[in-house]
Amino acid sequence: MNERRILALLKTGQVAFRYPLKVHFAAVEGTGDFGVSVPKRLFKRAVKRNLLKRRVREAFRLNAARLGERRYDIFIYYVGKEVADYERIDKSLAQILDDLAAR
């Protein structure tokens, strides 16, 4: 996801929140795009940021089918102050994607 699309999504998209994830999304025609951000000011070590990004990407990969045929630009922002385990991230993301599918 490039910077232009991220900024447009943050400006005009809708927001869903389930701790520790904040998701910005917008319905699109064609193929959707996906991005993840873990802030450096919360996690100074790149090892922790990369761990969280891997966990979020894997949770999205396994739960993307919940969206069905709908296509979205999705940007996930990690807002938790501690490193959450995979089960917590997976549960939060699954709830958010279920909400998106119901819209």
For the chain, domain boundaries: 3-102
Rounded to whole angstroms, the Cα distance separating 65 from 61 reads 8
Rounded to whole angstroms, the Cα distance separating 73 from 85 reads 25
Q: Does domain 3-102 have CATH number 3.40.605.10?
A: no
Rounded to whole angstroms, the Cα distance separating 78 from 30 reads 27
Cβ–Cβ contacts within 10 Å for residue 96, how many? 22
pTM of the predicted structure, to 2 decimals: 0.92
pLDDT value of position 30: 87
Rounded to whole angstroms, the Cα distance separating 37 from 76 reads 6
Cβ–Cβ contacts within 10 Å for residue 7, how many? 10
pLDDT tens for the 103 residues of the chain, in order: 889 999 999 999 999 999 999 999 999 998 899 999 999 999 999 999 999 999 999 999 999 999 988 899 999 999 999 999 999 999 999 999 999 999 8
